[in-house]
Amino acid sequence: MRKPVKKASESKVILITGASSGLGKACAEALVERGHTVYGTSRRAKFLDNSSDPNALKMIPMDVNDDISVNRAIAHVIDAAGVIDVIVNNAGYGIAGAIENTTIDEAKALFDTNFFGVHRVCRAALPYLREQGFGHIINIGSLGGVVSIPFQAFYSASKSALASLSNGLSMELKPFGISVTRIEPGDYHTGFTANRIFVAAIDPAGVYGERCSRAIAVMEQDEQNGADPEGLANILVKIIESKHPALNYRVGIFMQRLLISLVPFLPDRILEKLLMSLYKI
């Protein structure tokens, strides 16, 4: 394994999970335009020869829920490029429904992707990053991990857990020249709305039905009126090309960032009432 010391402005080898659509795709395409070598992952991708267009986005298969798939994808990038400069853990999804109506299996499946999927990728990549003596891990969290969203609480819980994991990982990796950054986006106009999964036991006529429907309607409206994914892609480019990236970036439309900035100063019950009012429950 070669051990070059790279400058922040140099072209980098970047791996982005969940790059077939939405924020991941926008970020991957922006980084390719900047001249970086980008490997995007998708469960449906195939290992193909991209040598005919070395500047193209290279899509490779990876299922973040499967150890063998993750290890194979990481090894493929190392074999092809000799190094991984940056890993962007972006793969994830949301589920909607009342906590009482969410089965353990549904909650576990969400965490397996949003939280343990990040852990799998890190475990597979870190031996290579430590050996090469540098690297940057960027985990895509959510402003929904800072405050819990009603009827999407398991998604919030997974992103809150990811925040804690990222902070701990940053401290553990300091001696090895590996930095960790967490990006916490608000709502962006992507396919997240269409890809949201509803718990099997959701019941519009049940005890949670009316309030759950109103909350989900607010979420969908916020997402459809969210920021342009290209904005986040440009932020990611700046972070990757920065000499001294911060530990955490909270990004998105102004009103959402403003609310989050007020969280430390609001009494818990006041914040709760505010959120209940926002989601019309």
Structure tokens at 117: 């999927």
Query: What are the backbone dihedrals phi and psi of residue 21, each rounded to the nearest 5 degrees, phi first?
Result: -160, 175
Buried b (16+ CB within 10 A) or exposed e, 21-39: ebbbbbbbbbbbebebbbb
The Cα-based distances of 211 to 93, 150, 160 in angstroms read 22, 9, 24
Q: Are 102 and 120 in contact (CB under 8 A)?
A: no
155 is catalytic: yes
User: What gap in Å lies between CA 18 and CA 91, rounded to an integer?
Assistant: 4
Query: What are the backbone dihedrals phi and psi of residue 250, each rounded to the nearest 5 degrees, phi first?
Result: -110, 120
Report yes or no on 221 lying in a domain: yes
Report yes or no on 200 lying in a domain: yes
Give percent helix, percent strand, percent coil of the chain, each to the nearest 5.
Answer: 50, 15, 35
Q: What per-residue confidence (pLDDT) applies to 10?
A: 82
Its pTM surpasses 0.75: yes
CATH number, domain containing residue 181: 3.40.50.720
Report yes or no on 4 lying in a domain: no
Report DSSP state, residue 149: P
Q: What per-residue confidence (pLDDT) applies to 52?
A: 58
DSSP 182-200: EEEE--BSSTHHHHPEEPT
Helix axes 153-173, 104-114, angle to 10 degrees: 40
Report yes or no on 84 lying in a domain: yes
Nearest to 231 by CA among 168, 189, 275: 189
The Cα-based distances of 202 to 24, 110, 146, 196, 219 in angstroms read 29, 16, 25, 13, 16
Task: Provide the domain count of the chain.
Answer: 1
User: What gap in Å lies between CA 48 and CA 190, rounded to an integer?
Assistant: 27
From the list 39, 93, 128, 155, the catalytic residue is: 155
Q: What per-residue confidence (pLDDT) applies to 48?
A: 75
Report yes or no on 6 lying in a domain: no
Report yes or no on 68 lying in a domain: yes
Report yes or no on 2 lying in a domain: no
The predicted-structure confidence for 14-23, as pLDDT tens digits, reads as follows 999 999 999 9
Host domain of residue 81: 13-278
Low-confidence ranges of the chain (pLDDT < 50): 1-5, 7-8
The predicted-structure confidence for 42-70, as pLDDT tens digits, reads as follows 999 998 755 556 678 999 999 999 999 99
CA atoms within a 13 Å half-sphere pointing along the CA-CB vector of 230? 1
Q: What per-residue confidence (pLDDT) applies to 277?
A: 97
User: What gap in Å lies between CA 133 and CA 10, rounded to an integer?
Assistant: 16
Q: What per-residue confidence (pLDDT) applies to 73?
A: 98
Report yes or no on 217 lying in a domain: yes
Q: Where are the alpha helices (DSSP H) in 84-150?
A: 104-114, 116-132
